[in-house]
């Protein structure tokens, strides 16, 4: 595993732990970035090509996301080298061994990420006593099934809509990626009167200016087919979804889908980032310059981690969703107001807000020299 890393900064990392057990092919890392606000929550990622630099970057993103969501949790991330599609028994053995090695890291609460799911979290809980994103049989809230992140994204959009003089009733919405995030945010927006005029998945896009039938789209996905196969709409290549004019454009698929080369093709008033880092920094700056309101990922897609933190406190599904709504709306409002007052982009305002919260929490710690 590549262990290159620069030294970090005044926020963290506070601890980097390497776990190796060559006899069983175990190689992993934990980066605890910052724990001033409380024990860190962050996903366990399993992939063949993970590195220390990536782990540290993801851990920092969690510090900022958790602080921005005003959770009593710091940020961390763990990575495990391996193909997540390896035989289940082998995967269980590796994950259990990794978790067991980190049993005494009480400052870290494991969550699911790429390559891990609720079963993996059940094994981790069994080994360490600490995990979120658990199966419902162990008190977990099924985040993706209920659409926690989609619900949070919807709340952020609802809060931001008046700032760009947008009514959700009748608004035209485009959703890139019809998975756990995309299909739920589409459902919540449609219930508010919005028209979902185009959606895409990895195999294609479908467009209907009169609004797509979300139930039929869900049926297609459940049957393992592409949204582009929907009857009645116009099918396009997946990438062409960028060209569909709308009021709200929602990336909910892959990183870096909007960059400096294609950003000017977007015709929308609001862009709400469901995916992580779907828009490059340069493209975000360009959108800001053009007056397109962009809701940054770590504010708009924090629903999953907020719900996970509520699960950790044993809140019911209803209470967790209510807390999620209140937190995302309050943080979106704080970000938009700060951006307006300071004349900066929403992302700059959100980063400032989150960093200030972490620094304040650090000043309240006994051993902090900050
Ligand atoms: P998912 O796997 O359930 O769905 C992803 C969807 O994107 C699928 O429909 C897939 O076909 C589609 N897709 C892939 N490549 C595409 C392409 N090039 N063009 C169009 N569509 C494409 O994943 P998800 O859980 O919905 O996550 C989506 C994004 O949101 C990821 O970036 C993820 O990191 C981020 N995210 C998810 C959550 C969560 O709670 N699930 C929370 C925060 C952030």
The pLDDT of residue 255: 86
> Same domain for 136 and 154?
no
**8 A C-beta contact, residue 293 and residue 164:** yes
Longest Cα–Cα distance in the chain:
64
Q: Which atom of ligand 1 is nearest to the CA of 181?
A: 26
Residue 51 belongs to a domain with what CATH number?
3.40.50.10860
Beta partners for residue 250, in sequence order: 175
Active site residue 365: no
**8 A C-beta contact, residue 196 and residue 212:** yes
Please say which residue of 95, 113, 140 terminates a domain. 140
Please say which residue of 140, 170, 197 terminates a domain. 140
The single residue listed with the structure tokens 């309240």 is 364
What residue owns the CA closest to ligand 1's atom 13? 202
Please tell me if the CB atom of residue 270 comes closer than 6 angstroms to any atom of ligand 1. no
**8 A C-beta contact, residue 61 and residue 43:** no
Range of the domain at 99: 15-65+73-140
> Same domain for 55 and 35?
yes
User: pTM for the whole thing?
Assistant: 0.92
Of 192, 194, 182, which Cα lies nearest the Cα of 250?
Answer: 182
The single residue listed with the structure tokens 């800001």 is 288
The pLDDT of residue 5: 86
Q: Which atom of ligand 1 is nearest to the CA of 301?
A: 43
> Same domain for 116 and 182?
no
> Same domain for 113 and 158?
no
For residue range 260-299, what is the model confidence (pLDDT) as tens digits?
999 999 999 999 999 988 999 999 999 999 999 999 999 9
The pLDDT of residue 229: 97
Q: Which of 61, 117, 144, 181 to mutate to test the pocket of ligand 1 (most atoms within 8 A of CB)?
A: 181
The SS3 assignment for 147 reads coil
Please tell me if the CB atom of residue 320 comes closer than 6 angstroms to any atom of ligand 1. no
Please tell me if the CB atom of residue 200 comes closer than 6 angstroms to any atom of ligand 1. yes
Q: DSSP letters along 227-261, please?
A: GGG-TTSEEE-GGGGGG---SEEEE-S-TT-B-TT
Distance between Cα 254 and ligand 1 center (Å) = 6
Q: Do the domain assignments include residue 20?
A: yes
Whole-angstrom Cα distance, residue 232 to residue 207?
A: 9
Q: Do the domain assignments include residue 212?
A: yes
The pLDDT of residue 321: 95
What are the φ/ψ torsions at residue 76 (nearest 5 degrees)?
-155, 170
Residue numbers in the chain where pLDDT is lower than 70: 368-370
The pLDDT of residue 114: 87
> Same domain for 155 and 295?
yes
């Amino acid at each position: 595993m590549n262990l290159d890393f620069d030294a970090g900064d005044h926020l963290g990392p506070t601890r980097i732990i390497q776990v190796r057990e060559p006899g069983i092919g175990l190689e992993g890392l934990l980066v605890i970035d910052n724990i001033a606000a409380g024990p860190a929550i962050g996903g366990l990622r399993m992939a063949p090509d993970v590195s220390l630099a990536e782990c540290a970057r993801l851990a920092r993103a969690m510090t900022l996301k958790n602080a921005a969501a005003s959770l009593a949790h710091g940020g961390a991330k763990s990575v495990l080298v391996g193909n997540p599609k390896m035989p289940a028994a082998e995967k269980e053995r590796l994950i259990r061994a990794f978790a067991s090695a980190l049993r005494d890291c009480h400052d870290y609460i494991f969550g699911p990420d790429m390559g891990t799911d609720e079963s993996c979290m059940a094994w981790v809980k069994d080994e360490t006593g600490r995990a979120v994103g658990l199966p419902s049989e162990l008190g977990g809230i099924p985040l993706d099934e209920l659409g926690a992140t989609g619900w949070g994204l919807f709340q952020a959009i609802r809060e931001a809509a008046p700032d760009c003089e947008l009514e959700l009733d009748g608004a035209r919405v485009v959703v890139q990626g019809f998975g756990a995030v995309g299909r739920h945010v589409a459902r919540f927006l449609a219930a508010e009167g919005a028209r979902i005029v185009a959606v895409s998945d990895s195999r294609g896009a479908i467009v209907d200016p009169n609004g797509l039938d979300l139930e039929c789209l869900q049926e297609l996905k459940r049957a393992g087919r592409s949204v582009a196969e929907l009857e009645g709409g116009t099918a396009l290549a997946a990438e062409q979804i960028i060209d569909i004019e709308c009021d709200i454009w929602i990336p909910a698929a892959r990183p870096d889908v909007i960059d400096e080369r294609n950003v000017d093709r977007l015709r929308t008033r609001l862009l709400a980032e469901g995916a992580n880092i779907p828009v490059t920094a340069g493209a975000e700056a360009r959108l800001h310059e053009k007056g397109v309101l962009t809701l940054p990922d770590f504010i708009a897609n924090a629903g999953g981690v907020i719900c996970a933190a509520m699960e950790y406190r044993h809140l019911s599904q209803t209470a967790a969703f209510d807390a999620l709504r209140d937190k995302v709306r309050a943080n979106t409002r704080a970000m938009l107001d700060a951006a307006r007052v300071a004349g900066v982009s929403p992302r700059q305002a959100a980063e400032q807000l989150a960093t200030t919260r972490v620094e304040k929490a650090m000043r309240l710690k006994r051993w902090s020299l900050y």
